[in-house]
Amino acid sequence: MHNNGRFGIHGGQYIPETLMNAVIELEEAYNRYKDDPEFKSELSELFNEYAGRPSRLYYAKRMSEDLGGAKIYLKREDLNHTGAHKINNVLGQALLAKKMGKTRLIAETGAGQHGVATATAAALFGMECVVFMGEEDTRRQALNVYKMKLLGAEVIPVTTGTATLKDAVSQAMREWTSRIADTHYCLGSVMGPHPFPTIVRDFQAVISDEIRSQMLEKEGRLPDAVIACVGGGSNAIGSFYHFIPDEQVELIGCEAAGRGIDTFETAATIHTGRLGIFHGMKSYFCQDEFGQIAPVYSISAGLDYPGIGPEHAWLHDTGRARYEAITDEEAVGAFEYVSRMEGIIPAIESAHALAYAMKYAPSLPKDKILVVTVSGRGDKDCVSVAKYRGEEISE
């Protein structure tokens, strides 16, 4: 299945020679520690005591009854410390970096969520932290810039290209190349060159590990489908991973259609992208007619990455997972519906997965069970959703 970081034809290491030493060092360290009992017990203590794991698997009774079909369970990653699944990955990578003797973490961030999570882990471990963020994004996400600085990180605005997430990733890779000795690049999703897609997936796989045992305990069987939103794809692959061998469990990723997959204002990589090579990996990317990376758009800042992790590209190729495109309008509808029905304000990213569950559940009989991963909480999105509805509120 995985051959040198390959997922089918996807993945690999398409990087300059100067970065090879860094990824080889990282892969060797990861192989040394991933099954080490001491590393595993330190990480699970961090997950439990610091992040607040295990996260709950909650039966959304009102929503299930109102929709009138399958039972819907919510995997509550929004209840984690810092309010999303991203903490799972950064705690894992920070611990690994510490074992490798690194004293400095660098990261890219788009909306600022991964930057805040990395700054949090750096504070916890007493490490230096530098976050690269598109200049455009630093203006749009001033609150997260403040939080990163409060946590002790330095935020460097990136002015190249479109001054957004993809440029921040490129800049972080360049910085890593120039300073490998004391620095670990804490990449934020299941993307980039091998071994990142595997490392990030393994740290996020705690989600499906927990869903499995919680579901067996509550229902005595596996769910019929697991649904999660896909930006780079880390919360989705984490939710899917331990179910991949169980062919009867449907795996459904929800990508951001933005204003629609037939418009240019979309971030739906599987629906509109083509095979390409970017950020060190082969996968599907949104591209223009010349094969350049196309600008992407979604109401959800966490989903507007122009690519998708290589393992998802492979799950799509093999048909093991399917990918649905959800528009801004549908996601905003789900954001409001789940808030009202369950008293849970989901992240607008997670609302893409919830919107698909709202369409899918009514078509299924009542004895079917869906699990939807709520990747994060929606406090951060209230201002922009209000604005979408024509209401101006100040922070």
Ligand X SMILES: *Cc1c(COP(=O)(O)O)cnc(C)c1O
* Sequence-ordered strand ranges (E) for the chain: 6-7, 10-11, 57-59, 71-76, 104-109, 128-134, 154-158, 183-185, 225-229, 250-258, 274-278, 281-285, 321-327, 369-374
CB–CB of 324/254 below 8 Å? yes
Asked if 51 interacts with ligand X (CB under 6 A), we say no
CB–CB of 145/139 below 8 Å? no
**Beta bridge partner(s), residue 157:** 133
Catalytic one of 108, 255, 342, 349:
108
- Residue 86 annotated in active site: yes
Q: Find the binder of ligand X among 109, 120, 234, 327 (CB under 6 A).
A: 234
DSSP code string of 164-178: SHHHHHHHHHHHHHH
The minimum distance between CB 113 and ligand X, in angstroms, equals: 4
Q: Which residue is nearest to ligand X (CB)?
A: 376
Ranges within 274-333 binding ligand X (CB under 6 A) = 302-303
Asked if 345 interacts with ligand X (CB under 6 A), we say no
The count of chain residues that interact with ligand X, using the rule CB under 6 A, is 19
Q: Find the binder of ligand X among 94, 107, 229, 354 (CB under 6 A).
A: 229
The minimum distance between CB 235 and ligand X, in angstroms, equals: 3
Distances (CA, A) of 369 to 79, 81, 287, 357, 366: 22, 28, 37, 11, 8
- Residue 98 annotated in active site: no
Cα-to-chain-centroid distance, residue 394? 28
Asked if 255 interacts with ligand X (CB under 6 A), we say no
The minimum distance between CB 60 and ligand X, in angstroms, equals: 18
In whole angstroms, give the CA distance from residue 117 to residue 148.
9
Token pair of 160, please?
Answer: 């190249």
Asked if 253 interacts with ligand X (CB under 6 A), we say no
Asked if 267 interacts with ligand X (CB under 6 A), we say no
* Sequence-ordered strand ranges (E) for 38-110: 57-59, 71-76, 104-109
The minimum distance between CB 304 and ligand X, in angstroms, equals: 10
Asked if 144 interacts with ligand X (CB under 6 A), we say no
Residues in the chain, overall count: 395
Catalytic one of 189, 234, 298, 375:
375
**Beta bridge partner(s), residue 10:** 7
Ranges within 57-116 binding ligand X (CB under 6 A) = 84, 86, 113
The one segment of 47-55, 215-223, 262-270, 347-355 that binds ligand X by CB under 6 A: 347-355
Asked if 194 interacts with ligand X (CB under 6 A), we say no
The one segment of 134-142, 165-173, 226-234, 240-248 that binds ligand X by CB under 6 A: 226-234
Known catalytic residues are 86, 108, 375
